[in-house]
Chain A
Amino acid sequence: MTLNELNIVEANKGLRNKDFSSVELTKACLARIEETDEKIRSFITVTADLALEQAKDADERIEKGEAEENLLLGIPCSIKDIILTKDVLTTAASNILKNYIPPYDATLIKRLKKRGMVMVGKVNCDAFAHGASTENSDFFVSHNPWDLDRVPGGSSGGSASSVSADQCIYSIGTDTGASIRQPASFCNLVGLKPTYGRISRYGLISMTSSTDCPSIMTKNVGDAAVILKEIAGKDELDSTSSKERVDDYDKAINEKDLKGLKIGIPKEYFLKELNPDIKRALDEAIEKLAKLGAEIVQISLPHTEYAVPTYYIITPSEVSSNLARFDGIRYGYSETRDPQSDARNLMEVYMKSRGKGFGKEAKRRIMLGTYALSSGYYDAYYLKAQKVRALIKKDFDQAFESVDAIVTPTAPSVAFKIGEHSSNPLELYMEDIFLSAPSLAGVPAMSIPCGFAKPKDGNVEMPIGMQIIGKPFEEKKILNIACNFERSTSWHERKPSM
């Protein structure tokens, strides 16, 4: 095994034992990027010099013994390009920000830096996180390391492809309606979306302020627990961040087994139309959970079918507000930077900067949101969606009165081929079918590997993910369930043959 193939816990052990240094570990990742990224295209910006500098600093700290209690020290990661990194190009994968250098770090970045992070680069995503495949990136599409003709998922596609191809040890992305869980399931990784408010949103380029969650992409469950502990917690700069105590997630995952735990299986997520490969994998996984001691309970989340339409009113509405700041005045693409411009007044600067700077999906969502919020339509669309949202949340509140966690498929299929859905926006929205409801309810949810299937249109066995949903702030519980499952299976150990 090469150094870049290690996970966080293994890498930390190696660093502590002086088997290798953070610089060597980082060089291994950078070499892997050099060797593979022309084909995979995870990275918008590779920060090799910065990474080696950070690795050198980390090695000094490791020398002093800090790696004994600090598992993230000196471990190379990638960061989704929707998270602000000071002095490092941050684009949201959009032309409107293609030259934007942030003057500050996101809070989660500050916290990771304090713990000695090594950042190898900023990874690709759908522009402004609008999408499920990276096909909406204004720059290029990322490829799934398991089958390069397929998407890695989205919007955190670059996070998934970079970790899955061992170009780095972990990645931080975001999940607003699906965006860490779906790519995790497409790439055989662990994708953890915490409770809304668990991790500070300060420094995220905002998409849907009421559901955006910085999220974690790792090679296994233990790593996700380690990272969550470091970046969760109240932040004065994010008024929606929670004061709830941050648990010792990394210790908690080994504390219990599944005996006595009730796991709910919502019938609305297992309709007869469910892809038979996905059904088979989930049935086997659920059987495994039962063998491990969990009690499997049939439940109902009656408003499930309304989650996607609710999400696709609320999201564009909030997006239309959040993207108003990209107006060519303070930063980003501006009509006034163009010497050939014929803009005569402020209004034309707005209209042309936004018209030229935004990609199609961003414009679509802004327009949808503007419409849904406009006078005469607000009640029928936005207000209605907020009421249905309350009902969706109530479904979960009621379900959690009788079960500890809920298990569902993550995605309706394995990774699809590049180009398969990109001409029909609605088709891409339907990818979120199992994932939108937990986002709207703000509950924690994670995807873990639970099987493989060869799709009809391909030759390669592709990963399948299982979603585990928990009560607000019970990340400890879902991580524990995931860890128990992982320990008795070996899906997560498989690697793409690149």
Chain B
Amino acid sequence: MSEDKKISIEEVEHIANLARIELSDAEKKEFSSQLSDILGYVEKLQEVDTDSVEPISQVTGMVNVMREDAAKDCDEKTRKGIIANFPEEQNGYIKVKQIRN
């Protein structure tokens, strides 16, 4: 493989930061190599002439499937089940760390 990786280690760090994932140095190196390979492969799409093609993001053809903007109540057991999954809670609220130092 070429020395000049498509995705450098610095870019891996940048993407990992955007994706909010902490990577080890070994992972950064591995991903730089693997992501470069994968991106090299998908470059193939550049061969396709898509100048007059409209992109599609879903195949159902449906639009504006709406519902009433009304809150539906939740039964107590379900509510407790949801709260039971919180890593940290206080009085039924999720507890989170401070946003800044």
If A336-B88, A426-B37 touch, whether A367 touches B12 (CB-CB below 8 Å) is: yes
Q: What is the 8 Å Cβ interface bit string for chain A, positions 63-106, against chain B (1 contact, 0 not)?
A: 00000000000000000000000110000000000001111100
Instruction: Please tell me if the beta carbons of A441 and B59 are within 8 angstroms of each other in the complex.
Output: yes
Instruction: Please tell me if the beta carbons of B99 and A371 are within 8 angstroms of each other in the complex.
Output: no
The answer, among A236, A303, A336, A442, for a CB contact under 8 Å with B97, is A336
Instruction: Please tell me if the beta carbons of A330 and B48 are within 8 angstroms of each other in the complex.
Output: no
Please, which residue of chain A has its CB at the minimum distance from the CB of B84?
Answer: A101
Please, which residue of chain B has its CB at the minimum distance from the CB of A323?
Answer: B19
Chain B residues with Cβ under 8 A from A385's Cβ? Answer: 42, 45
Nearest CB of chain A from residue B36's CB, rounded to whole Å:
11
Instruction: Please tell me if the beta carbons of A103 and B60 are within 8 angstroms of each other in the complex.
Output: no
**A45 interfacial by beta-carbon distance below 8 Å:** no
**A391 interfacial by beta-carbon distance below 8 Å:** yes
Instruction: Please tell me if the beta carbons of A355 and B21 are within 8 angstroms of each other in the complex.
Output: yes
Main secondary structure of the interface of A (DSSP, over half): helix
Cα A328 to Cα B94 in complex, Å, equals 11
If A354-B22, A383-B55, A441-B59 touch, whether A303 touches B78 (CB-CB below 8 Å) is: no
Chain A residues with Cβ under 8 A from B58's Cβ? Answer: 210, 240
Chain A residues with Cβ under 8 A from B55's Cβ? Answer: 383, 386-387, 389-390
**B85 interfacial by beta-carbon distance below 8 Å:** yes
The answer, among A239, A305, A384, for a CB contact under 8 Å with B65, is A239
Cα A351 to Cα B54 in complex, Å, equals 37
Chain B residues with Cβ under 8 A from A356's Cβ? Answer: 22
Instruction: Please tell me if the beta carbons of B99 and A196 are within 8 angstroms of each other in the complex.
Output: no
Chain B residues with Cβ under 8 A from A306's Cβ? Answer: 44-45, 47-48
- Contact-residue size bin, chain A (C-beta under 8 Å from the other chain): 35 or more
Instruction: Please tell me if the beta carbons of B19 and A343 are within 8 angstroms of each other in the complex.
Output: no
Instruction: Please tell me if the beta carbons of B34 and A345 are within 8 angstroms of each other in the complex.
Output: no
Q: How many A-B residue pairs have CB under 8 A?
A: 181
Instruction: Please tell me if the beta carbons of A351 and B53 are within 8 angstroms of each other in the complex.
Output: no
Instruction: Please tell me if the beta carbons of B59 and A312 are within 8 angstroms of each other in the complex.
Output: no
Cα A306 to Cα B44 in complex, Å, equals 7
Instruction: Please tell me if the beta carbons of B45 and A354 are within 8 angstroms of each other in the complex.
Output: no
Instruction: Please tell me if the beta carbons of B87 and A334 are within 8 angstroms of each other in the complex.
Output: yes
Instruction: Please tell me if the beta carbons of A349 and B35 are within 8 angstroms of each other in the complex.
Output: no
Instruction: Please tell me if the beta carbons of A358 and B21 are within 8 angstroms of each other in the complex.
Output: yes
**B90 interfacial by beta-carbon distance below 8 Å:** no
**A114 interfacial by beta-carbon distance below 8 Å:** no
Chain B residues with Cβ under 8 A from A305's Cβ? Answer: 44
**B2 interfacial by beta-carbon distance below 8 Å:** no
Q: Which among B11, B27, B39 has the highest number of chain A CB atoms within 10 Å?
A: B39
Cα A178 to Cα B23 in complex, Å, equals 29
Cα A320 to Cα B45 in complex, Å, equals 20
In chain B, residues 44-72, which have Cβ atoms closer than 8 Å to a Cβ of chain A? Answer: 44-48, 50, 53-60, 62, 65, 67
Instruction: Please tell me if the beta carbons of A351 and B20 are within 8 angstroms of each other in the complex.
Output: yes
Instruction: Please tell me if the beta carbons of A346 and B19 are within 8 angstroms of each other in the complex.
Output: no
Supply 12 further A-B pairs (C-beta < 8 A) apart from A103-B77, A306-B44, A386-B55. Answer: A103-B81, A303-B48, A306-B45, A327-B20, A329-B87, A329-B94, A343-B97, A345-B101, A368-B35, A371-B39, A391-B48, A441-B59
A-B contact pairs, 15 of them (CB 8 A): A101-B84, A103-B82, A309-B42, A328-B87, A334-B88, A346-B96, A349-B96, A351-B20, A367-B15, A367-B31, A368-B38, A388-B45, A388-B48, A389-B55, A440-B59
Chain B interfacial positions (CB closer than 8 Å to A): 7, 11-12, 15-16, 18-23, 27, 31, 34-35, 37-39, 41-48, 50, 53-60, 62, 65, 67, 77-78, 80-82, 84-88, 94, 96-101
Chain A interfacial positions (CB closer than 8 Å to B): 86-87, 100-104, 196-197, 210, 236, 239-240, 242, 303, 305-306, 309-310, 312-313, 320, 324, 327-332, 334, 336-337, 343-352, 354-356, 358, 360, 363-364, 366-368, 370-371, 374, 380-381, 383-391, 393, 425-426, 429, 440-442, 472
